[in-house]
Structure 1
Amino acid sequence: MRRAVTLAALLLGACGQAAAPNTGQSGGQLQAQVIASELVAGPQQRVPIGILDHNTPVNDASVHVQAFLLQGSAAVLKGESDAPFKGAGLEGAGAYIAHLDLTPAGNWGLDITASRPNGARLSQRLAFNVVATPIVPAVGQAAPRSHNPTTKDADATTIDSGRPPDDMHQISMADAIAQHRPTLVVFASPAFCTSRVCGPEVHVVQALEPTYRDRLTFIHVEIYRDFVPDPSKRQLAPTVGEWRLQTEPWIFLIDSKGIIAARFEGPTSTDEVKAAIDHLLA
């Protein structure tokens, strides 16, 4: 009980945000961050974590996470998970992924421990909020029937900032859902992403397309519009607002009934996406 009370005292001051900032309990040169704009109540939720060494992301740490539900002055241990690094296909980027039971919604804390082969170690506590009603469309909800622009409406270079643009602009989400097509949607801006993850994330999806294109529709939604000919005049694309996205990249899998079957925020490796596709199509 003393451990629970002490942990709660350290965490309560930072609660109230989907991914709270560092509470300052790292105790060394390593630092942990939860890299998600929102975490939703439910079993085995994906919790992406970044580990920094002197502010530089690292991919060789061994990471373990304990999750605590904060109840008044107590912190109740609800589960724990190893968090292996997932970076396949992401060209050096990636995240440490824990899967945790996050029920019920409310104020939670993470106790994160990590160690690197060079001897660097981390013990850090972070606070975050688990929501019952997400802002971004969630698993089990109907996908917005968005009329994202396609190559039927415009040249690919005006609706995809990647160079060359990819081939995932053939059909809108509204049409794919109306035709009862299982669909993968990736929201990303290869040219204007504020991190270095968006281009590699599109490449992850492109690498899977040849294997699944006969059973799965692939759609890439560019985050911005009006970036040609002057990128400084770009604006957020209407589809991004319809999906209420606050970060990028995102990947959604939509079943043949138009229901969201899986969603991934931030860096998502090839093996994570492939496993979700296989589950959708099984």
Structure 2
Amino acid sequence: MHLPVRPVAAIAAALIVVAGCGSTAVTPRPSTGPSAAGSPSVLPQPISGEFGVGENRVVFGLTDATGTKPVGAPNRSLSIGYRGPNGETVAPAPQTFIWAIEGTVGVYVGHATFATAGQWTADFSTEAPGSPKATMTFSFDVKQKTQVLRPGDAAPSVATPTLADVGGDVAKVSSDPKPVPAFYQTSEAAALAAHKPFVLIFATPKFCTSQTCGPTLDKLKPVAAAHPEMTFINVEPYKLTFANGSLQADLDASGNLVPVEATTAFGLSTEPFVFVVGADGKISSSFELVFSPDEIESAIKTVEAG
């Protein structure tokens, strides 16, 4: 199994590249209303890798009509409504803007519940000061069951590497140039067995060096410091070997990175990924590729409240 790294750095150059690396099938179509004005002036790009029946955290980027220039911004609004294959509807709702690359490229986060599998249509509306309102509809697939584990699923038990496994040398379990040793004190299996909430991170600073996926751990470190009661665990998602003073990738015969057991167990096809797991051992929240510290804070409060 080859785990493809979604090139999130491409958001800065073209959000469409990010969309093209996932499995989501999307067919944009300009609206026939007066706001369409011929060719659409703004294109939506799904950052979420897949959509499934039930509640979804949906992440979209926006580009210009060429698909090469990101146009998402704090002063640009985005609203999305949905229509299902059997007449189902999800009312339009405003999405929340967050920075993917601080001050440079942003995306929009929302939540939607899809009742059935099949082809759905999204009704997209956006406007910004000095620009006309742009509308578009586009089609995408909703799966009965997604590849990646989702909120409500039981977290699998995996004995992820810890400092105790390597004689306390954090450089042998983390490619982070400034690692937090506490992130490697507890294995995922031990955290599950403790029946306490924890945050599980799949991130590899050395082998995912874009401006968005590389600093995932840096974004989480202040959150972890503010919650000493919460266990944070980082898992290097690929098989690595310590050689010449640092971790090196174990590549397969085709030169691809090879996923570790935990990556496969959680069904990941992209990274970074963050899971917040409750004391009941079930995934409470999950965050693919891009997130805000406020989202993680809210997810922690939810599991701590029981």
- TM (norm. structure 1) is 0.82
Spell out, residue by residue over 1:11-43, the C-alpha distance to the aligned partner (whole angstroms, 9 max, x if none).
Answer: xxxxxx962234353834532111112222224
Match of 2:4 in 1: none
Corresponding position of 2:205:
190
In structure 1, give the amino acid aligned to 2:284: A
The one of 266, 280, 305 equivalent to 1:243 is 266
- 1:38 aligns with 50
SS at match of 1:152: helix
**1:199 maps to which of 206, 209, 214:** 214
Correspondence for 2:95: 83
SS in 1 for 2:28: coil
Q: SS at 2:172's partner residue?
A: helix
- Which SS does the other structure have where 1:202 is aligned? helix
User: Are residue 179 (structure 1) and residue 194 (structure 2) matched?
Assistant: yes
Among candidates 8, 13, 25, match of residue 20 of structure 1: 25
Quote the residue 2:138 is aligned against.
126
Q: Which runs of 5+ in 1 are unaligned?
A: 1-16
Q: Is the CA contact (8 Å cut-off) linking 2:48 and 2:59 kept in structure 1?
A: yes
Q: What is aligned with 2:176?
A: 162
- Whole-Å separation in 1 of the counterparts to 2:93 and 2:193: 39
Amino acid in structure 2 at the alignment position of 1:262: S
Choose which of 281, 294, 297 in structure 2 pairs with 1:274: 297
Deviation at 1:142, TM superposition (A): 1.2
Superposition TM-score, scaled by structure 2 size: 0.76
Deviations, residues 157-182 of structure 1 (Å, cap 9, x unaligned): 23322212233111111011111121
**Kept in 1: contact 2:63–2:72 (CA 8 A):** no
Distance across 2 between alignment mates of 1:124 and 1:195: 30
**How far apart are 1:118 and its partner, in Å?**
4.7
Matched to 1:177, the amino acid is L
How many residue pairs get aligned? The number is 260
User: Superposition pairs for residues 1-12 of structure 1, below 5 Å?
Assistant: none
Question: In structure 2, do the counterparts of structure 1 residues 194 and 209 end up closer, same or farther at CA, with 3 Å as the change threshold?
Answer: closer
Aligned equivalent of 2:60: 49
Is the 1:181–1:255 Cα contact (8 Å) retained in structure 2?
Answer: yes
CA deviations 1:214-264 (Å, max 9, x no partner) are 1x1101111222264444845322221121100112111111121111112
Whole-angstrom CA distance in 2 between matches of 1:58 and 1:84: 15
Q: Where does residue 223 of structure 2 map in the other structure?
A: 208
Match of 2:150 in 1: 138
CA root-mean-square deviation: 2.5
Q: Distance in 1 between matches of 2:221 and 2:174?
A: 14
Letter in 2 for 1:243: F
Q: Using the alignment, how far apart are the partners of 1:260 and 1:232 within structure 2?
A: 29
SS of structure 2 residue aligned to 1:101: strand
Q: Partners in 2 of 1:193 and 1:264 — Cα distance?
A: 17
- What do residues 71-111 of structure 1 show as CA deviations (whole Å, max 9, x unaligned)? 4xxx65332211120239x6345420122231123221112
SS in 2 for 1:236: coil
* Higher mean C-alpha deviation, range 231-240 or range 169-178: 231-240
Question: Measured at CA, do residues 248 and 267 of structure 1 come closer, stay the same or move farther in structure 2, by a change above 3 Å?
Answer: same
C-alpha contact (below 8 Å) 1:83/1:98 kept by paired residues: yes
> Where does residue 106 of structure 1 map in the other structure?
118
Q: Give the Å deviation of 1:64.
A: 0.9
Distance in structure 2 (CA, Å) of the matches to 1:107 and 1:28: 22
Distance 1:129 1:184 in 2: 29
Identity of aligned residues (%): 29
Measured in 1, the distance between the counterparts of 2:106 and 2:206 equals 19
